Structure 1
Amino acid sequence: MAPPLPTKVPRKWYQWYALEDTPEERRLLLKLDLLILPIALLSFWIKNMDYANINNAFVSGMKEELHFYGNELVQFQTVFTVASVVGQLPFAFLFPKVPLYILIPSMEVFWGVFNLLQFRSKSFGEEVAYRFMVGIFESAFFPGVQYVLGSWYRGDEIARRGAFFYVGQTIGALSTGLLTASVASTFGGRHGLSGWRWMFIFTSVITFPIALMGYVLWPGTPLKPNKIFLTDQDVALARSRLQRHGHMDNHGVLENPDLNWTQIKKTFQGWRIWVLTIWDITFWLSGLHVSGGTYLLWIKSLKRYNVKDLNNLGSTAPGIGILYLLVFCFASDLFLGRTLALSISYSWNMIGVLILVIWNVPESAKWFAYNTIYGATVISPVFHGWANDILKHNAVERAFVLVFMNSVSQGMSAWIPLLVFQTVEAPRFTKGFSFTLALSFLFLGMTQAVRHLHKRQE
């Protein structure tokens, strides 16, 4: 019979550690925070610089230079997404078996190579090929980081750690706009290269040292740890504290490295994989208006800003998104709870999306609306932290379900933008904004269902 889980002592909103954490556990958590959070933030930052860079490049000269006047932008995004979905599938089997402190940085090195090659694109077909390979080598990163976080932290510790990781996304979008504006005016034309081409060179130059740092800093998982900075005592303490909080079975096995067909069959017979996948689909699809470059396309449609000003203005939404991210993720762990944090963040985003559906409003209302859109995506640390907590009792199932739900959801987001966010319909995406508003309502309904099922499970 499993021992009862320890009682959690209420804490103040400003307390980083739980009151029941011992001094040794606090030192361990500090070490893990210093290893994981900086490298995760930097890696996610550079990934999202590239993800935003294709949007900024498109409105900063790529469209005109390569004669793109159709739906090329949304097609680039679709190719990238398809590649990322396909590339993720093997990692459901590999995450428990392969040291992640080797896997994640190695994928990042190859990612940097193909990101760099985009500077030489001369045609639609060539850029499609590069976007596909960038997607392949990025595929392991996001589910891999979620797997690492869930391997070291308790359910009530993940969201605010995930917030620091996710700051990389918003800083990536923010810094891409600011850098594109600076590079376009400073480097544009040097050595015969346009400003948007220089951006791909800059992001790649930054990528390689971050990847090399990853070999040293990523801690792996408690069963396959990177012992450059972690001691045997650190690993033993991490495993024992997770066992006390229900992350391990009675035999002290933190994770079984073998994913077999019996385990897969058992997983598909349970509720978690189906409910979490549907929930994740609503999460991905309700944020399509953020990833589609809708804000930049609207600013460009005003036809009163040069490239530098356009990119600077496009940075306001991710800049404000950093505030949303920190507020909602810390509040979720410390006093609001996950359900309320998700509900408030999504409701704030839905106000802005409703304005964009109506569309015929004063211009100031549209500026406001576009600057609420990150409320739909920055809550990801709370969402994925909750999924990790639901799956905490079986790490093999956790690896499989995290990859499966992310692959299916991202796969859905690959083709739906082709229907509802066609580039030629910019800037008024009536179908797209209506679709994301409807999916936001569905996401909130699924959140209540997950809350009920998780409570019943525990």
Structure 2
Amino acid sequence: MHGKRQGRAWYHWFAETDTPQERKLLLKLDLLIVPYAFIGFWINFIDGSNINNAWVAGLAEDLNFHGNQLVDFQTISSVAGVIGQIPFAFLFPYMPMNWLVPGVELFWGVFTLLQYRAKSYAEFMAYRFFVGLFEAPFFIGVHFVLGSWYRADELGRRGGIFYIGLTLGSLTSGLIQSSASANLEGVAGLAGWRWMFIIVGLMTFVVAFAGFFIWPGTPDIPNKLFLSDEELDIARHRLQENGTDGTRPANIALPKVTLGLLKTVFTSWKVYALVVWNLFFWDSDPQPWGGYLLWIKSLGRYSNAQVNRLGASAPGVGILYVLFINFSSDLWLGRTGSIVLAHVVNIVSMVILVIWDVPESAKWFAFNIYYFDIGMSSVLYGWANDILRHNKQERAITLVVMNTIPTAIRAWIGLLVFKTVESPRFTKGYSFCLANSICLIGFTFVVRRLYRKQEEQYALELARSSEAVVEEISHPIEKKEAGVGNVTVEPVA
């Protein structure tokens, strides 16, 4: 069984069984993978969420945007994200990830930058579409790489540090916009919100170019700039012990996508359970729709710069939630406990926001704890990586499917229950998120049961295989020579 780490105190970074060579390798992988994943996701979320900050910083007034046009911008990015993910279900196992992941980041940076010159609703919609299109494979690509190098008891902490990029992206997006509004308004004839797109677009280019050199790829198609052959052998050996299919020898061609592979994926319980589970997770999260910023603005007592600074409080404290939930999943609570805790807190937040007629301090509290919900994202995706670890082609396809379908469904949720004209009180939206949190807690126990049955079956098959090998070595095999009637006995080599 693969769950929280056993045998050492929670504050130990390595497992008791890790050799000195493995610890050295893990430190190197942590330095190559985790900081870039974190910084890349930070930039990803700045570029993806800055439309909310720009909206409350003067974009809507300057371009005469109104009604539900903010949720239209959010929706078009989500729709593009669905389209952009589909090809990568098949490409992840076959392409160098140190080219793929930074490459798409470079392209979304171009369209992030171009938003500074937008003058119409149609132009903004086009730019938001292409930002969403090229951002699409980044998140799931990072999880594919994490699952290609780390064991189940190592994924939560690394994934948690990676996921801080989301909360830090939300935080710094607000602070960048606040500073741009306060200090760059009118400089070179540009509004402060336009300067934000210029600043973050240029930041994206720097991070993307660094990724081509830093990102280590996967054990199958590694970037050898910082990894030796000996270290790659150690990594593949660790994967074999973990039961992870990621150990193809260099001289064996990559298998092709076949109807048999697709049949394996879509006749398995895994893809359906993981899609439903992830759907509940995605739809329990209210923060993409900008409710906190819109509520602060509705109070009518803060400037544009102050609205963005205050709006940074929720993702700021959210960093602590993400770290706590993900580290505790590996070292203390286990995966089930961490997910349940995150969504119990989210249920409290959503209940307060559904009631709404509460003291203002209660609303500040509710908005500032709702990042607990998304804090368990890397726990869920890490668990999915563990469930799918026995077949990397199935893992790539299933990870993309489990991300694409919820993305496609959530793309329309804003239009249905988070309409901009209903702000700041999204009663339907917060009720919807509340219901999904409750369902997610219940379905987590369903996934845990299915996972345990799979691991029991895998352990049984492994034991039978080992017994068969021992039996084969222990007893000679009778071989009948071709064309001869007598029987000879030969030992097994």
User: TM tier, shorter chain?
Assistant: over 0.9
Closer, same or farther in 2 for the Cα pair 1:250/1:238, shift >3 Å? closer
Gaps of 5+ in 2: 456-493
Using the size of structure 1 for normalisation, the TM-score is 0.97
**Conserved in 1, the CA contact under 8 Å of 2:112 and 2:131?**
yes
1:82-102 deviation per Cα after TM superposition (whole angstroms, max 9, x unaligned): 001101100011001110101
2:211 to 203, 214, 218: 214
Aligned to 1:303: 300
- Per the TM alignment, residue 250 of structure 1 is displaced from its structure 2 partner at its CA by 10
Closer, same or farther in 2 for the Cα pair 1:8/1:175, shift >3 Å? closer
**Conserved in 1, the CA contact under 8 Å of 2:220 and 2:247?**
no
Instruction: Establish whether residue 81 from structure 1 lines up as the match of residue 78 from structure 2.
Output: yes
Instruction: Establish whether residue 423 from structure 1 lines up as the match of residue 420 from structure 2.
Output: yes
Structure 1: distance between partners of 2:158 and 2:248: 28
Q: Number of residue pairs matched?
A: 453
Aligned to 1:17: 14
Alignment of 1:41-120 (within 5 A): 41-120=38-117
2:394 to 388, 392, 397: 397
**Conserved in 1, the CA contact under 8 Å of 2:48 and 2:132?**
no
**Conserved in 2, the CA contact under 8 Å of 1:96 and 1:255?**
no
2:150 to 142, 149, 153: 153
Secondary structure in structure 1 of the residue aligned to 2:243: coil
1:163-193 deviation per Cα after TM superposition (whole angstroms, max 9, x unaligned): 1111111111011111111111111111111
Q: Computing the radius of gyration over CA atoms, which structure comes out larger, 1 or 2? A: 2
Letter in 2 for 1:266: T
- Per the TM alignment, residue 227 of structure 1 is displaced from its structure 2 partner at its CA by 0.2
Letter in 2 for 1:27: K
RMSD: 1.7
1:44-97 deviation per Cα after TM superposition (whole angstroms, max 9, x unaligned): 111111222100000110010111111011110110000011011000110011
Gaps of 5+ in 1: none
1:434 to 401, 406, 431: 431
1:126 to 109, 112, 123: 123
Instruction: Establish whether residue 347 from structure 1 lines up as the match of residue 324 from structure 2.
Output: no
Letter in 2 for 1:282: F
Instruction: Establish whether residue 272 from structure 1 lines up as the match of residue 270 from structure 2.
Output: yes
Structure 2: distance between partners of 1:358 and 1:258: 54
Structure 2: distance between partners of 1:12 and 1:302: 48
1:373-392 deviation per Cα after TM superposition (whole angstroms, max 9, x unaligned): 10111211111101100000
- Per the TM alignment, residue 258 of structure 1 is displaced from its structure 2 partner at its CA by 2.2
Larger RCO (CA under 8 A, 6+ residues apart): 1
- Per the TM alignment, residue 140 of structure 1 is displaced from its structure 2 partner at its CA by 1.2
Closer, same or farther in 2 for the Cα pair 1:362/1:247, shift >3 Å? same
Structure 2: distance between partners of 1:202 and 1:449: 45
Closer, same or farther in 2 for the Cα pair 1:251/1:369, shift >3 Å? closer
1:228-253 deviation per Cα after TM superposition (whole angstroms, max 9, x unaligned): 00111111110111101111399979
Secondary structure in structure 1 of the residue aligned to 2:411: helix
Instruction: Establish whether residue 319 from structure 1 lines up as the match of residue 319 from structure 2.
Output: no
**Conserved in 1, the CA contact under 8 Å of 2:278 and 2:406?**
yes
**Conserved in 1, the CA contact under 8 Å of 2:10 and 2:332?**
yes
1:101-121 deviation per Cα after TM superposition (whole angstroms, max 9, x unaligned): 011111111111111000011
Instruction: Establish whether residue 450 from structure 1 lines up as the match of residue 447 from structure 2.
Output: yes
Secondary structure in structure 1 of the residue aligned to 2:332: helix
**Conserved in 1, the CA contact under 8 Å of 2:239 and 2:247?**
no
Aligned to 1:262: 260
Structure 1: distance between partners of 2:201 and 2:27: 30
Using the size of structure 2 for normalisation, the TM-score is 0.90
